[in-house]
Amino acid sequence: MTTPLEHRRRVRRRWLLWATLPVWLTVLVLGLHLALMNVVAAVARGQYADGQIGSAALGFTWLKSTDPVEQWKAPFDLGTTFTKGEDAQLGSFYLTDALELAPQDDPEIQCMVLINYAIAMELLGDEELAEAQTRNDWADEAQGYVDQGQAYPPGVPWGDATPEEIRVEAQEYAAWAERDYAAAQEARAACEPEGQDQEQQQENSESQERLEDKQQQAQDEEQPEQPEDQTGQSEEEKRQQELLERNEEAQAEAERQRQEEQGDQGGSGTKNW
């Protein structure tokens, strides 16, 4: 026979069980979720290693929105994947997120993210420097048609842009490249040497030297040197001089014609009777 005291205890245990049920369900769901995340991460990293960039990116994208613990890992993996897949702009975007989310008190993690971010920015600068070089070549080719007084042939890659407009585009691309190389240098410099082994320090030093050379190339493309002839004049100076001479010749010809017209009018006003 159940006493009133035992009955109250049983009722209390039932209420405690129902009250803690959401907590147990949350723990169970979280455990299953973490287990699923580990599986997805393992599969995505395997796909990344096999060169299946698109499939790996899908897995890392899912992890980015669902990882409640190490939130920096998914954007880091995404940024690294897109960088390897030759989309440095998207790679640098996700790696910037990873830098903001990575623990500030862990220099090893910070350095790992910074190095990959530097790689992405260097690749992005390479793309922009190549665009600048291409446009400077286009500008030289377009100037050749202008100097010869010829129209552009159909299908030229620069359309109907003038040589000056093409050079402005080249300068913009070169300026972007210079900025991105500087960002890559800054990221590599932020890695403390104490957190790297000797091989990593050597690689980082060589990368810094390479970035300095590329930054100088970008500056050269932004302000290309004009070739000089035997008189010491650059091609641009020669074109300006030729333009000035043609203007002076045109003005002289116009003045000569005006004087001839005035002379003809003055002669027709008198008659020899």
What are the tens digits of pLDDT across the range 126-163?
999 999 999 999 999 999 999 999 999 999 999 999 99
Alpha helices in 50-162 (DSSP H): 53-66, 73-84, 88-101, 107-147
Q: What is the mean pLDDT of the chain?
A: 76
Beta bridge partners of 234: 228
Tens-place pLDDT, residues 119-132: 999 999 999 999 99
Residue with more model confidence, 173 or 204: 173
Beta bridge partners of 228: 234
Tens-place pLDDT, residues 15-32: 554 555 454 444 344 444
Lowest mean pLDDT among 128-132, 201-205, 261-265: 261-265
Round to whole Å and give the CA distance between 74 and 61: 7
Give the pLDDT mean for 226-243.
Answer: 58
> What pLDDT, on a 0 to 100 scale, did the predictor assign at position 70?
75
Prediction pTM value: 0.61
Q: How many other C-beta atoms can be found within 10 angstroms of the C-beta atom of residue 144?
A: 11
DSSP letter for 151, please: P
Dihedral pair phi/psi, residue 33, rounded to 5°: -65, -45
Dihedral pair phi/psi, residue 162, rounded to 5°: -80, 160
> What pLDDT, on a 0 to 100 scale, did the predictor assign at position 31?
45
For residue 238, what are its two tokens? 């020669």
Residue pair 56/45 in contact by the 8 Å Cβ criterion: yes
Round to whole Å and give the CA distance between 194 and 220: 35
Q: Find tokens 């320090």 and name the residue.
A: 201
> What pLDDT, on a 0 to 100 scale, did the predictor assign at position 253?
79
Round to whole Å and give the CA distance between 90 and 84: 11
